[in-house]
Amino acid sequence: MQLQELGDRICILGPSNSGKSTLANAIARKRALAAIHLDQLFHLPQTDWIPRPIDEFVALHDKAIMGDSWVMDGNYSVCMPQRFARATGVILLDISTPVSLFRYARRALFGKGRVGGLEGGQDSIKWTMIHHIAIVTPANRRRYAVLYDELHLPKIRLQSAHAIQHCYLQWGLER
């Protein structure tokens, strides 16, 4: 699939630490789209990943999806119906749990100023995040696969770090 086939409002889904934000930024640069990182809308800036009240997050999300062109990374199923109603294409990153855990540790230990990071926030190893990746994410992965299969939008599923890298090369993206 060619990148242009995904249109001007692209959703990127996938497990934590699968590369959603990095891919979103690369696509945004290539296609001149706004990059919207849902983690930044969901969490309060200048905190250690403290969530906003859900109504504030939904309002920020709903305002963001009204734009004419964007690439949005993140899951947050509470807002998926309205996001998919506006989306023109979907990318599902479906990397394995061990790869997600490795990337989380690497990001928490060495990822200062990372793409999609929280302004003023600091990544660190947190047991709640390890639990989320190792225990919660496998069930979410199955749920997102079913959701992906049911979508009637242009879409692509990338099931490994190698497949993601192949798309970077095929689409002429830079990290």
Take residue 30 and report the two structure tokens written for it: 């290539």
* pTM of the complete model beyond 0.85: yes
Are 66 and 86 spatial neighbours (Cβ–Cβ below 8 Å)? yes
Are 79 and 62 spatial neighbours (Cβ–Cβ below 8 Å)? yes
User: How far is Cα 46 from Cα 44, in angstroms, rounded to an integer?
Assistant: 7
Among 44-53, 145-154, 159-168, whose mean pLDDT is lowest? 44-53
Kindly give, in sequence order, each residue whose CB lies less than 8 Å from that of residue 113, ignoring residues fewer than 6 positions away.
none
pLDDT reported for residue 125: 83
Take residue 1 and report the two structure tokens written for it: 């699939």
* Domain 3-171 in CATH 3.40.50.300: yes
pLDDT reported for residue 104: 85
User: Is the pLDDT at 146 greater than 80, yes or no?
Assistant: yes
- ∠ Cα 114 80 98 (to 5°): 45
User: How far is Cα 9 from Cα 97, in angstroms, rounded to an integer?
Assistant: 28
Take residue 164 and report the two structure tokens written for it: 């993601």
Half-sphere exposure of 167 (CA within 13 A, CB side): 25
The domain ranges of the chain are: 3-171
Per-residue model confidence as pLDDT tens digits over 81-104: 999 999 999 999 999 999 999 988
